[in-house]
Structure 1
Amino acid sequence: MSVLAAIAVLALLIVVHELGHFSAARLQKIHVNRFSIGFGPTLLKYQGKETEYAVRAFPLGGYVGFPDDDPDSDIPPEDPDLLRNRPVFDRAIVISAGVIANLIFAYFLLVVQAGTVGFQDIDYQPGVRIPEVLTVVDSPAAQAGMQSGDIVLGINGQVLPSGQAALEQLREEIQNAANTALDLQIKRGEDELSLTVTPDADSDGQGRIGVMLAPNGEIVRNRAGNPVAALQAGSREFQRLASLTVQGFGQLIFNFSETAQQVAGPVAIVAVGADLAKDDLSNLFQFGSLISINLAIINILPLPALDGGQLAFLLVEGIRGKPLPMRLQENIMQTGLVLLLGLGVFLIVRDTVNLAFFQNLIR
């Protein structure tokens, strides 16, 4: 069920994106002859007065079709309501409307979450939690008797504060104490005890004890008390997610060799969404918002076969006063489409092979 929920979220975001293009065209009375959700074989189809609506077998995609280049269309080529015959600004609105729709929908999801289930937060308490202790033989933490779930309250007689500062202080103390004994004050359940651990030196000479560190605290949900507060909370969360997404794309562009492995395809995205839904279905609000923002930013990039690539053509047309030769545009778009499809297939295969259940099958 969690996998189906994640797929449904992705399909919904694609519908929203395509509805943006479709609505922008219809509001300007531009002819639209196809509205399709998904690719591949047609599952359901309805022929409206002008537009064919279809649902296809593979839901991770979609498109809005225009009769401009349809050889079977009975609309005269000089019709002013064909997309290609509209001014540059009108076409730019249609092309950018999918991105705008995704951004608006992301904000809408966050406002709904703020007013219903609320956003997760941490009620920080003193110390640092140890979620996991590595059980390898040479782990200093395991040899010292540390256990998963322990809370480090102090180190060498210094009491740790609350929040991220405590985590950073403990990490720094451990890294600076390679081969030097540290006295840790530990809370385990209702008991408090002292343990002595001696960090090993890693390849950089920094100390390590073989544990995961996390801030100590309880997860709480903060729900907005009224619609205005929900709008404000949704706005703050939208800005945070958008900022993180832009930073992520920046790191991908400027540190591609180090971050390329973090690029995820549809399979990995569904897997992440399924894990989030398994823990709490309300997590799908932020999951959907984050993916919607990502879709918007990806589509606005000036790359062939994306909305941003078509906007780039329009920009050139606006500067030149006439469009680039159609043959050149088609060659660029087809090349970009082949590259994007190739990347998509690669990511799907790679992410499928990396799934846990697939790994278990091949062992």
Structure 2
Amino acid sequence: MSVLAAIAVLAILILVHELGHFIAARSQGIYANRFSLGFGPILLKYQGSQTEYTIRAFPLGGFVGFPDDDPDSDIPPNDPNLLRNRPILDRAIVISAGVIANLIFAYLVLALQLGIVGIPQEFKYQPGVIVKPVNEQSIAYQAGIREGDIILSVNGQELTAGNDSTLLLTKEIQTHPNQQLDLKIQRQNEQIPLKLTPTQSADGKGLVGIELGPNGKAVYRRPQNPTEIFTVAANRFQQLVVGTIKGFGQLLTNFQATASQVSGPINIVKIGAKLAADNLANLLSFAAIISINLAVINILPLPALDGGQLAFLLIEGLFGKPLPAKIQEGVMQTGLVLLLGLGIFLIVKETTQLDFVQQLFQGL
């Protein structure tokens, strides 16, 4: 059930994104003749007065179709309600509306979570640093560290209760590239000694491929009023957006060290399923984080993404005319092939890393 919950969250986020495009178009009187959740063969179809609504086999995305380039459309090519015949601002609103919808949805989800769970009041620390998601290809995983482990000491230095322990361990890892660290790990009721040697990243810092956090539990209180909920949600939303942008910035500036941390659909569902199994309220945080990531990814000026189409509009605005249609189609098709190829690569890679698949291979 937790896996289905995670998949449902991804489907909802895709639906929200495409609804943003669709509503922005229809509210301006722009024709939209197709609305699809997913790609590939059609599973369900409903023909409305102006739009064909479909659910397709592969829920890895979706699209809103416009009759501008539909050879079967009987709409005159000079109709002012075709998307291509609208002013640049109208088209920019339609193209960017999916990103805006994902951001608004993320903020509302955070507010909903605060309304259900409460406002964080304090954090009760316990000794040690807890290990969050571990990259299965990382140095840490190969050394035996697993998600949920509590690191109690590093090189004989105890990691006491408090957020300073997380900073201390992070510093020890970053300042000891290619040098062995002696760790003491607590896994359930067992304490395990482990040796870990960070690899050296491009910027010279040690890297092991784990996410660390303070060991403890947050204490919540009931919100005083709705204003407090929306204010705290706004602060958390800002932190998540800034953190996401910084993460993509690190991917661009330090690709070699961070590329292995990129997750595809399988790992995203896996993380979401675990959060749903641990605490249903955590699934709301997962939805907000993924929704913000979808928004940031789509606004990047890359072919086949919303940001790529906005880049074409910017060129049109600067030079007074659009790029030739063949150039735009070639760029967008190339970008789409590359994105689909990357998606398939990540799916295959992550599928082969699933426990039951590896057990299957071992049995052959």
- Scaled by the length of structure 2, what TM-score is found? 0.79
Answer whether contact 1:25 1:31 (CA < 8 A) is retained.
Answer: yes
1:250 aligns with 2:249: yes
* Residues in 1 aligned to 2:169 and 2:16: alpha-carbon distance in whole angstroms: 46
**Which residue of the partner structure matches residue 8 of structure 1?**
8
Q: RMSD between aligned alpha carbons?
A: 3.4
Quickly say closer, same or farther: Cα 1:240–1:121, change in 2 above 3 A: farther
Quickly say closer, same or farther: Cα 1:259–1:201, change in 2 above 3 A: closer
Spell out, residue by residue over 1:225-270, the C-alpha distance to the aligned partner (whole angstroms, 9 max, x if none).
3211110111111111112111110110001011111111111111
Q: Secondary structure at the match of 2:280?
A: coil
* Residues in 1 aligned to 2:353 and 2:115: alpha-carbon distance in whole angstroms: 37
Answer whether contact 1:110 1:234 (CA < 8 A) is retained.
Answer: yes
* Residues in 1 aligned to 2:322 and 2:196: alpha-carbon distance in whole angstroms: 63
What one-letter code is carried by the residue in structure 2 that aligns with 1:224?
Answer: P
Give the 5 Å matches for 1:181-196.
none
Q: Secondary structure at the match of 1:49?
A: coil
Larger radius of gyration: 1
**Which residue of the partner structure matches residue 278 of structure 2?**
279
What one-letter code is carried by the residue in structure 2 that aligns with 1:13?
Answer: L
* Residues in 2 aligned to 1:360 and 1:101: alpha-carbon distance in whole angstroms: 41
Answer whether contact 2:124 2:219 (CA < 8 A) is retained.
Answer: no
What one-letter code is carried by the residue in structure 2 that aligns with 1:288?
Answer: A
What one-letter code is carried by the residue in structure 1 that aligns with 2:275?
Answer: L
**Which residue of the partner structure matches residue 355 of structure 2?**
356
Give the 5 Å matches for 1:40-189.
40-118=40-118, 123-125=123-125, 127-128=127-128, 162-168=161-167
* Residues in 2 aligned to 1:62 and 1:23: alpha-carbon distance in whole angstroms: 15
**Which residue of the partner structure matches residue 145 of structure 1?**
none
Quickly say closer, same or farther: Cα 1:171–1:21, change in 2 above 3 A: closer
1:102 CA drift (Å): 0.4
- Scaled by the length of structure 1, what TM-score is found? 0.79
* Residues in 2 aligned to 1:32 and 1:49: alpha-carbon distance in whole angstroms: 11
Q: Secondary structure at the match of 1:116?
A: helix
Answer whether contact 2:99 2:296 (CA < 8 A) is retained.
Answer: yes
**Which residue of the partner structure matches residue 139 of structure 1?**
none
Percentage identity across paired residues of the two chains: 60
1:310 aligns with 2:309: yes
* Residues in 2 aligned to 1:173 and 1:325: alpha-carbon distance in whole angstroms: 55
Answer whether contact 1:276 1:283 (CA < 8 A) is retained.
Answer: yes
| Number of equivalent positions | 323
Quickly say closer, same or farther: Cα 1:2–1:120, change in 2 above 3 A: farther
Spell out, residue by residue over 1:5-54, the C-alpha distance to the aligned partner (whole angstroms, 9 max, x if none).
00000000000000000000011000110001111111111111111111
* Residues in 2 aligned to 1:170 and 1:336: alpha-carbon distance in whole angstroms: 41
1:61 CA drift (Å): 0.9
Gapped regions of structure 1 (runs ≥ 5) = 132-147, 190-197, 205-211
Spell out, residue by residue over 1:95-136, the C-alpha distance to the aligned partner (whole angstroms, 9 max, x if none).
0000000000000100000111236676334643688xxxxx
Answer whether contact 1:21 1:98 (CA < 8 A) is retained.
Answer: yes
* Residues in 2 aligned to 1:79 and 1:321: alpha-carbon distance in whole angstroms: 21
1:215 CA drift (Å): 3.8
* Residues in 2 aligned to 1:311 and 1:260: alpha-carbon distance in whole angstroms: 26
* Residues in 1 aligned to 2:123 and 2:34: alpha-carbon distance in whole angstroms: 51
**Which residue of the partner structure matches residue 340 of structure 1?**
339
Q: Secondary structure at the match of 1:362?
A: helix
* Residues in 1 aligned to 2:14 and 2:194: alpha-carbon distance in whole angstroms: 50
Spell out, residue by residue over 1:190-247, the C-alpha distance to the aligned partner (whole angstroms, 9 max, x if none).
xxxxxxxx9989699xxxxxxx986453343344332111101111111111121111
* Residues in 1 aligned to 2:84 and 2:354: alpha-carbon distance in whole angstroms: 44
* Residues in 2 aligned to 1:111 and 1:218: alpha-carbon distance in whole angstroms: 21
Gapped regions of structure 2 (runs ≥ 5) = 132-148, 200-210
**Which residue of the partner structure matches residue 21 of structure 1?**
21
Answer whether contact 1:14 1:62 (CA < 8 A) is retained.
Answer: yes
1:345 CA drift (Å): 0.7
* Residues in 2 aligned to 1:91 and 1:171: alpha-carbon distance in whole angstroms: 46
Answer whether contact 1:128 1:213 (CA < 8 A) is retained.
Answer: no
What one-letter code is carried by the residue in structure 1 that aligns with 2:26?
Answer: R
